[in-house]
Amino acid sequence: MNLPRILVASLVGPTLFLTACGGGGGGSQPNNASGLEEAAEDLWNAIFSGNTDDAYAYLTEDCKDDVSEREFREAMSILPGLLEGFFGVDPDKVKVDDVETRNVDDGKGQAKVSLDAGNDDLNDLVNEGNQFQDWVYEGGSWRIADCDDFDDGGGNFDPDDDGGDLDDEPGDGSETSRSAPAPVGTPVEVSGWMITVNSADLDATEAILEEDEFIDPPEDGDVFVLINITATYSGDGENDSSSLFSAVTWGAVGKSAVAYDEFNDTCTFFGLPDELDSSVEVFEGGTIEGNICFSVTEDDADSLLIYADESFGFSSDGREWFSLR
């Protein structure tokens, strides 16, 4: 995963947002490498200025068929929190540093954007894993053509989600369902990772607050649910690597049938005991273990399930469910 994607989909690289957005309101550019550079730079200007209308205009028509403007806007709204919470970066200070293009010919091309986040250490972090993204020349403008991440799983971005897309039956390619989740200790494959829920503390509030005095307590009537997870990367050859964050998005739901997501409903961005390092790069056969945490209502805690989606898409195909008991 690369930075443009990561800023919306990952903490370690920009593939998702870069592949998903556009800039300049879809304004026209020449059908050549300089035009593609202009479009890619405009894309990021739109992202960091919060101009989602301009950004959405740079999706191809095929992408727009798969992703509504509302879904896109909701996903984009997470970016400032990701930058500040995970990277320690002020979004207002991020600028495009360089745009590299290649294979520009016959209305197709690829672009890779590098960002300047203010200092060398932050630049290395936010640009880690950057990759070239596919663009096409459509309607007098260069537009992002890589939109698979927006229709391949996820859907956890809406804080007002009423649970309507939470499956009672397995989705396409799923082994589990909401009514038949994987038991504790049972590994399930998600997006190239074998994931196992090892244990869960359905009221870990006191333990977490004792761990770090700077963690804010949950809202009245809510509790922290701490979940221990093991994830092994299956990979596609010894040179293949991935981060769990770039591959998997977490959600949770209890008897209220209202979904919780890992961004809006996390217990804390910092200081979680034995936190799962989902941003670390893992090669084929490598395993990571640690905790994730949701802040949920007391009424939902006892019935809570978690689910894993292929990162940052907007359908439940491939979603896998896990019991916490």
Q: What is the DSSP string of 190-245?
A: ETTEEEEEEEEETT-HHHHHHH-TTSPPPPTTEEEEEEEEEEEE--SSTT-EE-HH
| Residue 43 lies inside a defined structural domain of this protein | yes
Distances (CA, A) of 6 to 15, 165, 208, 296: 5, 24, 28, 26
| Residue 297 lies inside a defined structural domain of this protein | yes
CATH number at residue 15: 3.10.450.50
pLDDT of residue 8: 41
pLDDT of residue 122: 66
pLDDT of residue 126: 62
| Residue 200 lies inside a defined structural domain of this protein | yes
pLDDT of residue 186: 95
* Distance (Å, whole) CA 127 – CA 155: 25
| 216 & 271 share domain | yes
pLDDT of residue 67: 77
Give yes or no for a contact between 140 and 291, defined as CB atoms under 8 angstroms apart. no
| 119 & 204 share domain | no
| 228 & 93 share domain | no
CATH number at residue 269: 2.60.40
Number of domains in the chain: 2
| Residue 168 lies inside a defined structural domain of this protein | no
* Distance (Å, whole) CA 12 – CA 86: 9
| Residue 176 lies inside a defined structural domain of this protein | no
| 128 & 198 share domain | no
| Residue 252 lies inside a defined structural domain of this protein | yes
pLDDT of residue 200: 96
Q: Last residue of some domain: 131, 150, 169?
A: 150
| 60 & 131 share domain | yes
| Segments forming the whole domain that contains residue 12 | 3-150
| Residue 167 lies inside a defined structural domain of this protein | no
Give yes or no for a contact between 218 and 281, defined as CB atoms under 8 angstroms apart. no
| 135 & 203 share domain | no
- Tens digit of each residue's pLDDT, the chain (325 residues): 233 343 444 333 333 343 333 334 556 889 999 999 998 888 777 877 777 788 888 888 888 887 778 777 766 766 666 666 666 677 777 788 889 999 999 999 998 888 887 777 667 766 665 678 889 999 889 998 876 544 333 333 333 433 444 455 544 456 899 999 999 999 999 989 999 999 999 999 999 998 888 888 999 999 999 999 999 999 877 888 889 988 898 999 999 999 998 888 888 877 788 999 988 999 999 999 999 999 999 999 999 999 998 875 545 667 899 999 8
Q: Last residue of some domain: 150, 179, 212?
A: 150
Instruction: Retrieve residue 276's tokens.
Output: 């799962």
Q: Last residue of some domain: 120, 150, 180?
A: 150
* Distance (Å, whole) CA 297 – CA 131: 40
Distances (CA, A) of 265 to 132, 139, 252, 293, 297: 32, 40, 9, 8, 11
pLDDT of residue 287: 97
pLDDT of residue 203: 95
- Flag whether the pTM goes above 0.85: no
| 139 & 27 share domain | yes
* Distance (Å, whole) CA 322 – CA 187: 9
* Distance (Å, whole) CA 230 – CA 311: 17
| Residue 22 lies inside a defined structural domain of this protein | yes
User: Residue 223 contacts by C-beta under 8 Å, 6 or more apart in sequence?
Assistant: 202, 203, 204, 205, 295, 296, 297, 298, 301
Q: How many CA atoms lie within 13 A of 2 on its CB side?
A: 16
User: Residue 70 contacts by C-beta under 8 Å, 6 or more apart in sequence?
Assistant: none
| 61 & 146 share domain | yes
